[in-house]
Amino acid sequence: MKQDTYIVNTQQNGWSNKITDSINSVEDIGLNWDVQKTPIIALLEGKYPLPIDTHVSINRSDTNKSIGVVGSGYEPIQNTRIWDALHQSLEGTKHEVVGGGYTHDGGRVFVQTEVKDADFTVNGDKFDNYVTFYSSHDGSSAFEMFDTSVRMICQNTFRLAKQQGGKAFKLKVRHTRNADIRFENVMQHLEDMFDNRRVAYQKLNQIAETPMAYPEMIAWATSFFNKSNKLSTVSSNKAHEARRLAISGTGNNGQTSYDMFNGVTELLTHGDRNTSKDRSAVWRSSELGAGAIQKADALDQLMPNSLSRSSHIQRGFELINTGETLLSA
Protein backbone atom coordinates (compact mmCIF):
# COMPACT_ATOMS: atom_id res chain seq x y z
CA MET A 1 0.00 0.00 0.00
CA LYS A 2 1.02 3.61 -0.52
CA GLN A 3 1.99 5.62 2.55
CA ASP A 4 -1.35 7.45 2.54
CA THR A 5 -3.16 4.18 3.35
CA TYR A 6 -2.53 1.89 6.31
CA ILE A 7 -4.54 -1.29 6.89
CA VAL A 8 -4.26 -3.90 9.64
CA ASN A 9 -6.16 -7.19 9.56
CA THR A 10 -6.32 -10.42 11.54
CA GLN A 11 -6.75 -12.50 8.39
CA GLN A 12 -4.25 -12.98 5.57
CA ASN A 13 -5.07 -10.99 2.45
CA GLY A 14 -3.37 -9.15 -0.37
CA TRP A 15 -4.02 -5.57 0.65
CA SER A 16 -3.11 -5.19 4.34
CA ASN A 17 0.08 -3.51 5.54
CA LYS A 18 0.15 -5.70 8.63
CA ILE A 19 -1.39 -9.00 9.74
CA THR A 20 -1.81 -9.45 13.50
CA ASP A 21 -3.25 -12.07 15.83
CA SER A 22 -5.66 -9.74 17.62
CA ILE A 23 -6.78 -6.10 17.72
CA ASN A 24 -7.50 -4.62 21.12
CA SER A 25 -6.85 -0.90 20.83
CA VAL A 26 -6.46 2.00 18.40
CA GLU A 27 -2.71 1.48 18.61
CA ASP A 28 -3.09 -1.97 17.05
CA ILE A 29 -4.58 -0.45 13.88
CA GLY A 30 -2.35 2.62 13.59
CA LEU A 31 -4.90 5.10 14.93
CA ASN A 32 -3.06 6.07 18.12
CA TRP A 33 -2.92 9.76 17.27
CA ASP A 34 -5.22 12.76 17.67
CA VAL A 35 -6.35 15.38 15.20
CA GLN A 36 -5.82 19.07 15.89
CA LYS A 37 -7.36 22.21 14.46
CA THR A 38 -4.62 24.51 13.18
CA PRO A 39 -5.11 28.15 12.06
CA ILE A 40 -4.56 28.97 8.41
CA ILE A 41 -2.68 32.06 7.27
CA ALA A 42 -2.61 33.39 3.72
CA LEU A 43 0.34 35.38 2.42
CA LEU A 44 -0.75 38.45 0.50
CA GLU A 45 1.64 39.17 -2.32
CA GLY A 46 3.63 36.25 -0.99
CA LYS A 47 4.82 38.03 2.17
CA TYR A 48 2.02 39.73 4.19
CA PRO A 49 0.33 37.26 6.61
CA LEU A 50 -3.47 37.34 6.69
CA PRO A 51 -5.32 35.03 9.13
CA ILE A 52 -8.16 33.00 7.58
CA ASP A 53 -11.01 33.00 10.11
CA THR A 54 -13.49 30.90 8.16
CA HIS A 55 -11.43 27.71 7.81
CA VAL A 56 -8.82 25.69 9.69
CA SER A 57 -6.40 22.92 8.80
CA ILE A 58 -6.88 19.49 10.40
CA ASN A 59 -3.46 18.12 11.38
CA ARG A 60 -2.30 14.79 12.80
CA SER A 61 -0.71 15.08 16.24
CA ASP A 62 2.01 12.53 15.49
CA THR A 63 3.26 13.92 12.18
CA ASN A 64 1.73 17.43 12.18
CA LYS A 65 0.68 16.69 8.61
CA SER A 66 -2.39 18.47 7.30
CA ILE A 67 -5.05 15.94 6.29
CA GLY A 68 -7.81 18.35 5.35
CA VAL A 69 -9.19 21.87 5.41
CA VAL A 70 -12.61 22.38 7.03
CA GLY A 71 -14.84 25.16 8.30
CA SER A 72 -13.74 26.79 11.55
CA GLY A 73 -16.80 25.45 13.40
CA TYR A 74 -15.94 21.84 12.61
CA GLU A 75 -15.08 19.60 15.58
CA PRO A 76 -13.42 16.27 14.69
CA ILE A 77 -14.13 13.08 16.61
CA GLN A 78 -10.88 11.68 17.99
CA ASN A 79 -9.96 8.10 17.09
CA THR A 80 -10.18 6.96 20.72
CA ARG A 81 -13.73 8.31 20.94
CA ILE A 82 -14.68 6.49 17.75
CA TRP A 83 -13.24 3.29 19.20
CA ASP A 84 -15.07 3.72 22.52
CA ALA A 85 -18.36 4.70 20.89
CA LEU A 86 -18.22 1.68 18.59
CA HIS A 87 -17.85 -0.74 21.50
CA GLN A 88 -20.49 1.05 23.56
CA SER A 89 -22.96 0.91 20.68
CA LEU A 90 -22.37 -2.86 20.29
CA GLU A 91 -22.60 -3.57 24.01
CA GLY A 92 -24.49 -6.82 24.57
CA THR A 93 -23.69 -8.03 21.04
CA LYS A 94 -20.94 -10.58 20.48
CA HIS A 95 -18.38 -8.81 18.31
CA GLU A 96 -14.66 -8.80 17.62
CA VAL A 97 -12.52 -6.16 15.93
CA VAL A 98 -10.74 -7.83 13.01
CA GLY A 99 -9.40 -4.89 11.01
CA GLY A 100 -8.93 -1.17 10.78
CA GLY A 101 -6.73 1.66 9.64
CA TYR A 102 -6.89 4.80 7.54
CA THR A 103 -6.76 6.20 4.02
CA HIS A 104 -5.86 9.66 2.68
CA ASP A 105 -3.04 10.02 5.24
CA GLY A 106 -5.54 9.62 8.07
CA GLY A 107 -8.20 11.89 6.63
CA ARG A 108 -10.54 8.89 6.62
CA VAL A 109 -10.50 6.12 9.23
CA PHE A 110 -12.29 2.81 9.68
CA VAL A 111 -12.71 -0.07 12.11
CA GLN A 112 -13.99 -3.45 10.94
CA THR A 113 -15.76 -5.83 13.30
CA GLU A 114 -17.10 -9.35 13.01
CA VAL A 115 -20.65 -9.40 14.36
CA LYS A 116 -21.94 -12.95 14.23
CA ASP A 117 -25.37 -13.47 12.71
CA ALA A 118 -25.35 -16.80 10.86
CA ASP A 119 -23.01 -18.88 8.73
CA PHE A 120 -23.66 -18.66 4.99
CA THR A 121 -22.52 -20.84 2.10
CA VAL A 122 -23.26 -20.56 -1.62
CA ASN A 123 -22.50 -23.38 -4.03
CA GLY A 124 -20.17 -24.85 -1.40
CA ASP A 125 -18.31 -21.55 -0.87
CA LYS A 126 -17.97 -20.25 2.69
CA PHE A 127 -18.51 -16.55 3.36
CA ASP A 128 -17.52 -14.45 6.35
CA ASN A 129 -19.37 -11.21 7.08
CA TYR A 130 -18.13 -8.03 8.72
CA VAL A 131 -19.51 -4.66 9.75
CA THR A 132 -17.29 -1.69 8.92
CA PHE A 133 -17.53 1.62 10.78
CA TYR A 134 -16.18 4.49 8.72
CA SER A 135 -15.64 8.18 9.41
CA SER A 136 -13.52 11.11 8.30
CA HIS A 137 -11.35 13.77 9.85
CA ASP A 138 -11.25 15.85 6.67
CA GLY A 139 -14.98 16.63 6.52
CA SER A 140 -15.57 14.40 3.50
CA SER A 141 -18.24 12.22 5.14
CA ALA A 142 -20.35 11.68 8.21
CA PHE A 143 -20.07 8.51 10.27
CA GLU A 144 -21.25 5.46 8.32
CA MET A 145 -21.51 1.71 8.73
CA PHE A 146 -21.83 -0.98 6.08
CA ASP A 147 -21.81 -4.75 5.76
CA THR A 148 -19.05 -6.54 3.85
CA SER A 149 -18.96 -10.18 2.78
CA VAL A 150 -15.74 -12.05 1.98
CA ARG A 151 -15.73 -15.17 -0.20
CA MET A 152 -13.05 -17.03 1.70
CA ILE A 153 -11.74 -19.17 -1.18
CA CYS A 154 -10.51 -16.12 -3.08
CA GLN A 155 -10.81 -13.16 -0.66
CA ASN A 156 -13.21 -11.36 -3.01
CA THR A 157 -15.31 -8.82 -1.15
CA PHE A 158 -18.68 -7.20 -1.75
CA ARG A 159 -21.29 -5.30 0.19
CA LEU A 160 -24.21 -7.49 1.16
CA ALA A 161 -26.52 -5.40 3.26
CA LYS A 162 -26.98 -2.07 1.57
CA GLN A 163 -29.39 0.72 1.09
CA GLN A 164 -30.60 1.71 -2.35
CA GLY A 165 -27.64 2.24 -4.68
CA GLY A 166 -25.21 0.26 -2.54
CA LYS A 167 -24.73 3.16 -0.15
CA ALA A 168 -23.67 2.75 3.47
CA PHE A 169 -26.01 3.20 6.41
CA LYS A 170 -25.66 6.71 7.82
CA LEU A 171 -25.20 6.89 11.58
CA LYS A 172 -26.71 9.71 13.57
CA VAL A 173 -23.34 11.28 14.16
CA ARG A 174 -22.07 14.62 13.00
CA HIS A 175 -18.73 16.33 13.57
CA THR A 176 -20.01 18.74 16.21
CA ARG A 177 -19.28 19.31 19.87
CA ASN A 178 -21.95 16.74 20.80
CA ALA A 179 -20.88 14.07 18.33
CA ASP A 180 -19.95 11.59 21.05
CA ILE A 181 -23.59 11.00 22.05
CA ARG A 182 -25.15 10.32 18.63
CA PHE A 183 -24.71 6.57 18.09
CA GLU A 184 -28.19 5.48 19.08
CA ASN A 185 -29.23 3.97 15.71
CA VAL A 186 -26.47 1.36 15.40
CA MET A 187 -28.57 -1.56 16.66
CA GLN A 188 -31.43 -0.74 14.28
CA HIS A 189 -28.98 -0.66 11.38
CA LEU A 190 -27.58 -4.03 12.47
CA GLU A 191 -31.06 -5.55 12.42
CA ASP A 192 -31.61 -4.16 8.92
CA MET A 193 -28.21 -5.47 7.82
CA PHE A 194 -28.91 -8.97 9.12
CA ASP A 195 -32.27 -9.01 7.32
CA ASN A 196 -30.59 -7.85 4.12
CA ARG A 197 -27.83 -10.46 4.52
CA ARG A 198 -30.38 -13.26 4.37
CA VAL A 199 -32.03 -11.76 1.29
CA ALA A 200 -28.66 -11.28 -0.42
CA TYR A 201 -27.62 -14.90 0.16
CA GLN A 202 -30.93 -16.08 -1.22
CA LYS A 203 -30.10 -14.09 -4.36
CA LEU A 204 -26.60 -15.59 -4.52
CA ASN A 205 -28.02 -19.09 -4.33
CA GLN A 206 -30.45 -18.22 -7.12
CA ILE A 207 -27.77 -16.99 -9.50
CA ALA A 208 -25.64 -20.06 -8.60
CA GLU A 209 -28.41 -22.15 -10.15
CA THR A 210 -28.80 -19.95 -13.22
CA PRO A 211 -26.82 -21.11 -16.29
CA MET A 212 -24.98 -18.44 -18.26
CA ALA A 213 -23.28 -19.23 -21.56
CA TYR A 214 -20.08 -17.56 -22.77
CA PRO A 215 -21.82 -15.22 -25.30
CA GLU A 216 -24.22 -14.04 -22.59
CA MET A 217 -21.37 -13.46 -20.15
CA ILE A 218 -19.33 -11.30 -22.45
CA ALA A 219 -22.41 -9.36 -23.61
CA TRP A 220 -23.64 -8.75 -20.06
CA ALA A 221 -20.19 -7.67 -18.86
CA THR A 222 -19.68 -5.39 -21.86
CA SER A 223 -22.88 -3.51 -21.06
CA PHE A 224 -22.29 -3.55 -17.29
CA PHE A 225 -18.89 -1.85 -17.55
CA ASN A 226 -19.72 0.40 -20.53
CA LYS A 227 -22.05 3.19 -19.38
CA SER A 228 -21.84 5.30 -22.53
CA ASN A 229 -23.63 4.52 -25.79
CA LYS A 230 -20.34 3.89 -27.61
CA LEU A 231 -18.04 0.97 -26.85
CA SER A 232 -14.79 2.03 -25.19
CA THR A 233 -11.54 0.10 -25.12
CA VAL A 234 -11.23 0.43 -21.33
CA SER A 235 -14.70 -0.97 -20.59
CA SER A 236 -14.27 -3.71 -23.20
CA ASN A 237 -11.01 -4.78 -21.56
CA LYS A 238 -12.72 -4.90 -18.16
CA ALA A 239 -15.54 -7.00 -19.59
CA HIS A 240 -13.16 -9.53 -21.10
CA GLU A 241 -11.11 -9.71 -17.90
CA ALA A 242 -14.23 -10.24 -15.76
CA ARG A 243 -15.41 -12.95 -18.15
CA ARG A 244 -11.97 -14.59 -18.04
CA LEU A 245 -12.06 -14.59 -14.25
CA ALA A 246 -15.57 -16.06 -14.33
CA ILE A 247 -14.03 -19.08 -16.06
CA SER A 248 -10.54 -19.36 -14.59
CA GLY A 249 -10.74 -17.33 -11.35
CA THR A 250 -10.37 -19.14 -8.03
CA GLY A 251 -13.33 -21.46 -7.49
CA ASN A 252 -15.05 -20.53 -10.77
CA ASN A 253 -15.91 -22.68 -13.79
CA GLY A 254 -17.66 -20.25 -16.17
CA GLN A 255 -21.07 -21.90 -16.24
CA THR A 256 -23.45 -19.78 -14.15
CA SER A 257 -24.40 -16.21 -13.30
CA TYR A 258 -22.69 -16.81 -9.96
CA ASP A 259 -19.42 -17.39 -11.82
CA MET A 260 -19.97 -14.12 -13.68
CA PHE A 261 -20.63 -12.34 -10.38
CA ASN A 262 -17.42 -13.77 -8.92
CA GLY A 263 -15.52 -12.62 -12.00
CA VAL A 264 -16.77 -9.06 -11.43
CA THR A 265 -16.00 -9.07 -7.71
CA GLU A 266 -12.52 -10.53 -8.26
CA LEU A 267 -11.69 -7.86 -10.83
CA LEU A 268 -12.96 -5.01 -8.68
CA THR A 269 -11.45 -6.39 -5.45
CA HIS A 270 -7.96 -7.19 -6.72
CA GLY A 271 -7.63 -5.08 -9.88
CA ASP A 272 -6.31 -6.03 -13.30
CA ARG A 273 -2.85 -5.85 -14.88
CA ASN A 274 -3.07 -2.07 -15.11
CA THR A 275 -4.76 -1.10 -11.84
CA SER A 276 -3.27 -3.72 -9.51
CA LYS A 277 -0.03 -1.72 -9.35
CA ASP A 278 -1.80 0.91 -7.23
CA ARG A 279 -3.14 -1.34 -4.47
CA SER A 280 -4.16 1.64 -2.35
CA ALA A 281 -6.46 3.07 -5.02
CA VAL A 282 -7.90 -0.36 -5.86
CA TRP A 283 -8.67 -1.05 -2.20
CA ARG A 284 -10.30 2.34 -1.61
CA SER A 285 -12.55 1.89 -4.64
CA SER A 286 -13.30 -1.76 -3.85
CA GLU A 287 -14.24 -1.27 -0.21
CA LEU A 288 -15.24 2.38 0.14
CA GLY A 289 -15.89 3.85 -3.29
CA ALA A 290 -17.26 3.25 -6.77
CA GLY A 291 -16.08 -0.37 -6.92
CA ALA A 292 -18.08 -1.23 -3.80
CA ILE A 293 -21.25 0.16 -5.36
CA GLN A 294 -20.56 -1.63 -8.66
CA LYS A 295 -20.21 -4.98 -6.90
CA ALA A 296 -23.48 -4.42 -5.05
CA ASP A 297 -25.21 -3.56 -8.33
CA ALA A 298 -23.83 -6.63 -10.11
CA LEU A 299 -25.74 -9.03 -7.86
CA ASP A 300 -29.09 -7.39 -8.55
CA GLN A 301 -28.37 -7.07 -12.26
CA LEU A 302 -27.56 -10.78 -12.63
CA MET A 303 -30.77 -12.05 -11.06
CA PRO A 304 -32.67 -14.53 -13.30
CA ASN A 305 -35.68 -13.07 -15.11
CA SER A 306 -34.70 -9.54 -14.09
CA LEU A 307 -35.12 -6.76 -16.62
CA SER A 308 -31.59 -5.51 -15.89
CA ARG A 309 -30.02 -8.88 -16.77
CA SER A 310 -31.79 -9.25 -20.10
CA SER A 311 -31.32 -5.56 -20.96
CA HIS A 312 -27.57 -5.76 -20.28
CA ILE A 313 -27.24 -8.80 -22.53
CA GLN A 314 -29.19 -7.18 -25.39
CA ARG A 315 -27.32 -3.88 -25.01
CA GLY A 316 -23.96 -5.69 -24.80
CA PHE A 317 -24.58 -7.57 -28.05
CA GLU A 318 -25.34 -4.26 -29.79
CA LEU A 319 -22.15 -2.69 -28.45
CA ILE A 320 -20.06 -5.69 -29.52
CA ASN A 321 -21.61 -5.99 -33.00
CA THR A 322 -21.93 -2.31 -33.96
CA GLY A 323 -19.78 -0.41 -31.49
CA GLU A 324 -22.73 1.62 -30.26
CA THR A 325 -26.25 1.34 -28.90
CA LEU A 326 -29.33 3.45 -28.25
CA LEU A 327 -30.24 1.44 -25.15
CA SER A 328 -29.53 2.97 -21.75
CA ALA A 329 -27.16 1.30 -19.32
pLDDT above 90: percentage of residues in the chain: 48
Q: Looking at the predicted structure, is the pLDDT value of residue 5 above 60?
A: yes
pLDDT of residue 58: 96
pLDDT of residue 46: 82
Question: What is the DSSP secondary-structure string of 106-165?
Answer: GTEEEEEEEE----EEETTEEEEEEEEEEEESSSS---EEEEEEEETTTTEEEE-S--GG
pLDDT band of residue 238 (cuts 50, 70, 90) is very high
Dihedral, 147, 89, 9, 117 alpha carbons, nearest 10: -50
Q: Kindly list the distances between the CA atom of residue 15 and the CA atoms of 9, 10, 136, 265, 283, in Å, as whole numbers in the listed order.
A: 9, 12, 21, 15, 7
pLDDT band of residue 274 (cuts 50, 70, 90) is low
Q: Looking at the predicted structure, is the pLDDT value of residue 79 above 90?
A: yes
Phi, psi for 214 (deg, rounded to 5):
-55, -50
Q: Quick check: 203 and 122 in contact, CB under 8 A?
A: no
pLDDT of residue 100: 94
Calpha distance 243→241 (Å, rounded): 5
pLDDT of residue 30: 96
Q: Kindly list the distances between the CA atom of residue 264 and the CA atoms of 132, 287, 301, in Å, as whole numbers in the listed order.
A: 22, 14, 12
Burial class (CB in 10 A: 0-12, 13-18, 19+), 234: exposed
pLDDT of residue 175: 43
Q: Quick check: 154 and 262 in contact, CB under 8 A?
A: yes
The residue among 260, 171, 164, 244 whose CA lies nearest residue 211 is 260
Q: Looking at the predicted structure, is the pLDDT value of residue 24 above 90?
A: yes
Q: 317 or 86: whose pLDDT is higher?
A: 317
Q: Looking at the predicted structure, is the pLDDT value of residue 286 above 60?
A: yes
pLDDT of residue 169: 66
Query: Which helix or strand (DSSP H or E) is residue 58 part of?
Result: strand 48-60
55-73 pLDDT per residue, tens: 999 999 999 999 999 999 8
Range scoring the smallest mean pLDDT among 142-146, 172-176, 224-228, 262-266? 172-176
Bridge pairing between strands 6-9 and 18-19: parallel
Q: Looking at the predicted structure, is the pLDDT value of residue 164 above 50?
A: no
Mean pLDDT of the chain: 85
The residue among 129, 136, 175 whose CA lies nearest residue 151 is 129
CA 196, 198, 202, 208 dihedral sign is positive
pLDDT of residue 171: 64
The residue among 81, 79, 206, 195 whose CA lies nearest residue 129 is 195
**Long-range own/partner contacts, residues 222-228 (CB < 8 A, 24 or more apart):** 222/316, 222/319, 222/320, 223/311, 223/312, 223/313, 223/315, 223/316, 223/319, 223/329, 224/264, 224/298, 224/301, 224/312, 224/316, 226/316, 226/319, 226/329, 227/329, 228/329
pLDDT band of residue 321 (cuts 50, 70, 90) is very high
Highest-scoring range by mean pLDDT, 3-7, 32-36, 249-253, 273-277: 32-36
Identify the DSSP state of 215.
Answer: H
Q: Looking at the predicted structure, is the pLDDT value of residue 180 above 60?
A: no
pLDDT band of residue 194 (cuts 50, 70, 90) is confident
Q: 104 or 116: whose pLDDT is higher?
A: 104
